Structure 1
Amino acid sequence: MREMAKGSNVGLADLSDDTGSVIVSLRWSSATGDGDADVSVMLLNGDGKVRGDTDFFFYNHPAAPDGSVQLLGKAPTDGGSEDRISLDLTAVPPDVERIVVAASQYGGACFGELDDLRVTVADRGGETLLGFSIDDAGVESAFLFGELYRRGEEWKFRAIGQGYESGLAGLATDFGIDIVDDSADEDAAEGDPEAVQAVVEQRPSAQVPPSAAAEPRVTLPSQDTRGQEPDAGTTPRRTRGPRTAKKKVTLPRVAKKSLAENEAWRPARLFPAPTLKSDNERELRATSVLLSVMAEVPEFGRRLTAPFGAPAGRMQTFTEVTLPYGETPRRPDGVIRVERAGKLWTGLVETKTNGNPLRPEQVQDYMDIAARRGYEAVITLSNDVALEGCPPVAAKTDGRRKHKVALWHLSWAEVAHQAQMLIRHEGVGNAAHAWLLQELLSYLQHENSGCHGFQNMGPAWVPVRNGIDTETLCQGDRRAVEVVESWEQLIRQVCLRLGGELGQKVLPVQRAKRGVDPQTRRAALADGLCEDGRLTAELRIDSTPGVLTIVADLRTGKLRTSMEVMAPEGSYPLTSAKRLLRMLAEAPADLHVETLVEGGHGPRGTLERLRPEPADMLPKDGTRATGFRLSLFKGMGVTRGSAETGFIRSVDDVVDRFHAQVVAQLGPFERRPAGRSQPAEPAVAGAGA
């Protein structure tokens, strides 16, 4: 890997023979788990400006129709997160000379608060070609990480590392994107009520943090109005308007009323699952169902294969393919082929369902076949969720071969997540494609499909629980590490499922010291499990006021979900307490509310007891309340199915309940209007104050 210095450049062809498609990754970390940034990509012409609205890619506009750019979203890493961008350089329009990769923060945050700012570029086979670290970030709220640019027929990469204190507004202005602040919007609205509709938010309105509400917004140039003159006798309209892309189809969350005579009638399904009898049948059916839908729904097929370096092009999929291998031919579960500009990209698929493990020797055979035949990838698909530093199956690559084969992994939970994101939130090209994805999702969620994702805590789970119960589990026990790995897989799957339902980013927060590798971190967590008998995880959900914490206490058999809500600076304590109780009017009566005070803990009680007397939430000694911790408790429920399955279902249940009944009801606290004098709030003398 080539390590880049600020301002340096390198030709991609000098680093690899396979750079027609690359994956650019931006990552950062935070010791506290706080902090995040949004990635953006700009396609620039020879003048260094965007050509139009379709040249700016960000959270609300993640992909180009020709597949040249696709934002693949965030993936959790130890201590932070990583944003990946797929760039098909063979599909970039010829009048685009530069591709700029940037990131921005919001809400007054700056990049100096994050650690390990780094960009890497990998080739189609997944091999990292170059890396560039930024170590001089300070008060900047936007950063240009790097750019790919043409030199003749070659693409080169330049390490930029330039920051903007003016945030996304300053960055976008430099590249020909209009910025309209709130005051300008109000003025425009007075003269033209439709002018406000011409503003494109950087983030969805439902997900803009309150602290970012006053930030400038990005208006993109509209291709439909370029070069057009206003009609005579009409008031000149703004020459830059809303994006006019074709509207995509999503399915309603609530299904239409059934025409069945009674509840015993079951709707006909395109992909029936009840008749499956064996694991072999489940694998064959699941592979065929998935690959056929990938080929038929371009958005879905591209979404799953772009991270593996596949180009945007015509896709065909196959099953029951026999390939020669010595004296005994091999038959992978499936083959994916994508054609673009006369070139083929090929990936072999190995599928497992119902919790069956991948076989390393089988995957190794497919890696060898792919290398001999010039295929690009081997894709494994199973219930397991891949973890950083802990692949579901290991395979060796013959370094003597010039042709490189990449080994990738998908979980069934990731497949279901992508299908749900498309049909519920982002949309697909037409209603037929949306229906196909819905049928796929129904199949994956059927209890007999075997595609339920991670559903077993592993063979070490019961011995570790027993060892904690009898206090015989010692630090350094490898079985405790295996349980920690299973716990992380479960939490990753919870994030995928919840994110698919909400249409929002849900990521695990991993608090680790800078530079700690995944295995060392997991070993430390395993030692903590042996000592206190607890598994802990934190989830960050977009548009929520805090981090959702999950604690599984294996000694007591209890699960606790909680979130800390901070009170605004300068607010009256009693006003904040009353406001919180009003927001939680529909929350469960057994919700525990604990007041957080400077240097310790304050009063606590159930919502049922505190509702009549909000003043009971406040310390009687006048100590300042900084916020509130909201918690729900539930038993692990190991009576349903096996102990492993019962535990996993319990975790799913408590997260769903806490989010629906508590988190979804929380909104911003009311702040005192600036500049107004208000009477002093009476001191809290007792419960009735």
Structure 2
Amino acid sequence: MREMVKGSNTSLAALSEHIDSVIVSLGWGSSTGEGDADVSVLLLDANGKVRSDADFYFYNNPVAADGSVQVLGKTPTADGSEDRISFDLTAVPSEVDRIVVAASRYEGARFGELEDVKLSLADGSGEELLRFAIDDADSVSAIIFGELYRRGEEWKFRAVGQGYDTGLAGLATDFGVDIEDDAAAEVEQDTSAVDDQPADTAPASSDGSAPQGLLEAVPAPRRPEDEAEPRKPTARPRTAKKKVTLPRAAKKTLAENEAWKEAKLFPVTALKSDRDREMRATSVLLSVMAQVPEFGRRLTAAFGAPAGRMETFTEVTLPHGDSPRRPDGVIRVERAGKLWTALLETKTNGNALKADQVQAYMDIAARRGYEAVITLSNDVALEGSPLVDVKIDGRRKHKVALWHLSWAEVAHQAQMLIRHEGVGNAAHAWLLHELLHYLQHENSGCHGFQNMGPAWVPVRNGIDDETLCQGDPRALEVVESWERLIRQVCLRLGGELGQKVLPVRRARRGIDPKTLRAGLADQLCLDGKVQAELRIEGTPGVLAINADLRTGKLRTSIEIPVPEQGYPLTWAKRLVRRLADAPADLHIETLTDGETGGPRATLERLRPEPADMLPKENGTQIVGFRLSLLKGMGSSRGSAESGFIRSVDDAVHRFYTTVVVHLDGAGPRQVPSKGGATAG
């Protein structure tokens, strides 16, 4: 892997033979886990300008029609998160001379507040080719991380690291994206205005300026109350086809009674064995991927697949020594006469992947020149810890990438498309709806991570009788299972809300994920607890989950800061009013700058007298409030311990829907913008 410095450049072909498609990752972290930024991509011609506003890609315009660019979204890392962008360099139009990769912060935030700001680039097999760390971000609000550019027939990369004090608007203006002169005075749209917007219009930049076309739909900053409402700008033509999302309200049924079941495209009643479930689930998924291009591309772009005509196959027989092998599925994508091929190995109903099967498919793929092997199961992969260990023959010239996909992620992507982002037409939306119904049916076997593993019961028993010692490998297994569960909770909640939900990483810069898990395992042995924090886009704080295995209690909580102005009693009364529909057993604790902490009580007790939230000692400074709900864990002690997994899911869902949605700034947004209008 090549370490780049500012201003340096390199040929991609000199680093790898698999550069038809590459994935660029922009990463950062912060001590609180709350720092974030948005990526953007600009396609430039030989004059260094965009051909039109359609050459600007960002969080609400993530995919190029020709498949050359796809913003894949965020994934958690050991010490923060990273945004990934997939580039199909064979699909980039010939008139595009340069591709700029940038990121911007919002609401006055600066990159100097983040840690470990970096870019990395991987080839089509997933191998990381280069890395560029930016150490001098300081006070800038937007950064050009790097650029891909043509030199004759080859692509090269240049490490740029140029900052902009003027944010995304200044960066975009430099490259020819038009900015409205009166954007700063534009009124923030209310919920009804957002609902009326077409699903395919794009939001504005996070600092309130709005480029024409793609950026015109972004809500501008909130207008001060003493200013007059400005004249609304003239509507512009849409730049993309209108997308279709399914209505949330169900149609009135024509059935005579509840015993009548609606006919489904993918029936599940006849599934009797694990083999039946695997074959049916594989065929259902692959057929929908081939028929709904948005969905198929969403699932395969992260694995280096180009955008093109996709065909999928099941039960294909391939030669392998004396005994032919039959992978569960094959995915083929054709682009400009070239084929990208992946073998698929599927498991359902909690069955584990078999290393010998995956190894055989890796060998077959290498011999036949295929690009990838994809494993699909209920399990969730962890950063730095592959689910299946395979041996790679370094003597082979052709490299094969091994990727993993969980059923929870498949369901998440389907839900995001049909409920929040939209697809090309009503038939595609219906197909995804049928797929989601199948995956969520109890008989499909595609329910996601449901087993805390064989170490779960011994560890809980060891905590109960105080015999669990630091260094016990079973504690590490429980920590890994907990991390998998939290990742799945993020996928499910994010799919419901249509917002980014990511686990927060509070770790030293650059710490190895395995080292971090080992420390958490030792902490579990000491205090009998596992903990996690979720950052939910649009919420005023981090949602914390604490599972105390000694007491069998789950605590979900959030800390919210006090307003910068006002009086403590006003804050207390306003909080109680906002929580009028929250559970009566909600615990509220006043956070102070002192060592002893402030008052705490249930919401039921505080409703008639909010002043009880105020400290009795004069001069005590209130810094915030902590809201918490307690819930019992699953009581069974079987190896699957599905009761515990359900209880964590239920606890997070209940806390968000009954508490967090009532707080300032919380609630799902109709247009996923930064610093703009929110619904709720």
Superposition deviation, residue 650 in structure 1: 0.2
Shifted more, 247-256 versus 544-553: the winner is 247-256
CA distance, structure 1, for counterparts of residue 318 and residue 160 of structure 2: 46
Alignment: residue pair count: 644
Aligned to 1:116: 116
**1:90 and 2:85 correspond:** no
Q: TM-score, normalised by structure 1?
A: 0.90
Aligned to 2:242: 247
Superposition deviation, residue 571 in structure 1: 2.2
CA distance, structure 2, for counterparts of residue 303 and residue 574 of structure 1: 49
Q: Are the equivalent residues in 2 in contact too, given 1:428–1:434 (CA < 8 A)?
A: yes
Aligned to 1:322: 317
* Ranges in structure 2 where 5+ consecutive residues have no aligned partner: 217-231, 667-680
CA distance, structure 2, for counterparts of residue 402 and residue 647 of structure 1: 47
SS of residue matched to 2:445: coil
Q: Which amino acid in structure 2 is aligned with residue 408 of structure 1?
A: W
Aligned to 2:333: 338
**1:294 and 2:289 correspond:** yes
Superposition deviation, residue 168 in structure 1: 1.1
Q: Are the equivalent residues in 2 in contact too, given 1:119–1:131 (CA < 8 A)?
A: yes
Aligned to 2:15: 15
Pick closer, same or farther for the CA change 1:10–1:593 going to 2, 3 Å. same
Pick closer, same or farther for the CA change 1:572–1:203 going to 2, 3 Å. farther
Aligned to 1:384: 379
Superposition deviation, residue 549 in structure 1: 0.2
Pick closer, same or farther for the CA change 1:186–1:126 going to 2, 3 Å. closer
Per-residue CA shift, 1:341-384, capped at 9, x if unaligned? 11100000000011111011110010000000000000000011
Pick closer, same or farther for the CA change 1:217–1:197 going to 2, 3 Å. farther
Q: Are the equivalent residues in 1 in contact too, given 2:452–2:639 (CA < 8 A)?
A: no
CA distance, structure 2, for counterparts of residue 326 and residue 377 of structure 1: 20
1:616 counterpart (605, 612, 616): 612
Aligned to 2:60: 60
Q: Are the equivalent residues in 1 in contact too, given 2:539–2:665 (CA < 8 A)?
A: no
1:650 counterpart (643, 647, 651): 647
Q: Which amino acid in structure 2 is aligned with residue 380 of structure 1?
A: T
Superposition deviation, residue 185 in structure 1: 4.1
> Where do 1:577-656 residues align within 5 Å?
577-600=572-595, 601-622=597-618, 623-639=620-636, 644-656=641-653
Pick closer, same or farther for the CA change 1:322–1:647 going to 2, 3 Å. same
Aligned to 1:493: 488
**1:39 and 2:39 correspond:** yes
> Where do 1:420-459 residues align within 5 Å?
420-459=415-454
CA distance, structure 2, for counterparts of residue 483 and residue 640 of structure 1: 14
Aligned to 1:220: 212
Q: TM-score, normalised by structure 2?
A: 0.91
Q: Are the equivalent residues in 2 in contact too, given 1:221–1:240 (CA < 8 A)?
A: no
Q: Which amino acid in structure 1 is aligned with residue 566 of structure 2?
A: S
SS of residue matched to 1:539: strand
> Where do 1:228-627 residues align within 5 Å?
241=236, 243-600=238-595, 601-622=597-618, 623-627=620-624
Shifted more, 477-486 versus 215-224: the winner is 215-224
Q: Are the equivalent residues in 2 in contact too, given 1:496–1:506 (CA < 8 A)?
A: yes
Q: Which amino acid in structure 2 is aligned with residue 604 of structure 1?
A: R
SS of residue matched to 1:290: helix
Q: Are the equivalent residues in 2 in contact too, given 1:121–1:131 (CA < 8 A)?
A: yes
SS of residue matched to 1:18: coil
Per-residue CA shift, 1:403-459, capped at 9, x if unaligned? 110000000000000000000011111111111101110000010111001000000
Pick closer, same or farther for the CA change 1:96–1:183 going to 2, 3 Å. closer
Q: Are the equivalent residues in 2 in contact too, given 1:182–1:216 (CA < 8 A)?
A: no
Larger Rg: 1
Pick closer, same or farther for the CA change 1:403–1:512 going to 2, 3 Å. same
Aligned to 1:679: none
SS of residue matched to 2:210: strand
Q: Are the equivalent residues in 2 in contact too, given 1:29–1:81 (CA < 8 A)?
A: yes
SS of residue matched to 1:179: coil
> Where do 1:118-197 residues align within 5 Å?
118-180=118-180, 185-186=185-186
Superposition deviation, residue 652 in structure 1: 0.5
Superposition deviation, residue 275 in structure 1: 1.5
Superposition deviation, residue 259 in structure 1: 1.2
Q: Are the equivalent residues in 2 in contact too, given 1:181–1:216 (CA < 8 A)?
A: no
Q: Are the equivalent residues in 2 in contact too, given 1:333–1:351 (CA < 8 A)?
A: yes
CA distance, structure 2, for counterparts of residue 349 and residue 531 of structure 1: 42
SS of residue matched to 2:598: strand
SS of residue matched to 2:409: helix
Per-residue CA shift, 1:246-278, capped at 9, x if unaligned? 111110122111111111111111111121111
Pick closer, same or farther for the CA change 1:248–1:114 going to 2, 3 Å. same
Q: Are the equivalent residues in 2 in contact too, given 1:317–1:336 (CA < 8 A)?
A: yes
CA distance, structure 2, for counterparts of residue 361 and residue 594 of structure 1: 54
Pick closer, same or farther for the CA change 1:18–1:537 going to 2, 3 Å. same
CA distance, structure 1, for counterparts of residue 197 and residue 527 of structure 2: 55
Q: Are the equivalent residues in 2 in contact too, given 1:148–1:156 (CA < 8 A)?
A: yes
SS of residue matched to 2:278: helix
Pick closer, same or farther for the CA change 1:278–1:429 going to 2, 3 Å. same
CA distance, structure 2, for counterparts of residue 186 and residue 358 of structure 1: 55
Pick closer, same or farther for the CA change 1:86–1:470 going to 2, 3 Å. same
Q: Are the equivalent residues in 2 in contact too, given 1:177–1:221 (CA < 8 A)?
A: no
Superposition deviation, residue 514 in structure 1: 1.4
SS of residue matched to 2:559: strand
Superposition deviation, residue 184 in structure 1: 5.0
Superposition deviation, residue 585 in structure 1: 0.9
Superposition deviation, residue 34 in structure 1: 2.2
* Ranges in structure 1 where 5+ consecutive residues have no aligned partner: 225-236, 670-689
Q: Which amino acid in structure 2 is aligned with residue 508 of structure 1?
A: P
CA distance, structure 1, for counterparts of residue 11 and residue 150 of structure 2: 9
SS of residue matched to 2:13: helix
Per-residue CA shift, 1:532-560, capped at 9, x if unaligned? 11110000000000000000000000000
CA distance, structure 2, for counterparts of residue 220 and residue 287 of structure 1: 43
Pick closer, same or farther for the CA change 1:643–1:375 going to 2, 3 Å. closer
CA distance, structure 1, for counterparts of residue 295 and residue 284 of structure 2: 13
Q: State percent identity of aligned pairs.
A: 74
Per-residue CA shift, 1:100-134, capped at 9, x if unaligned? 00001112211111111111111111111111111
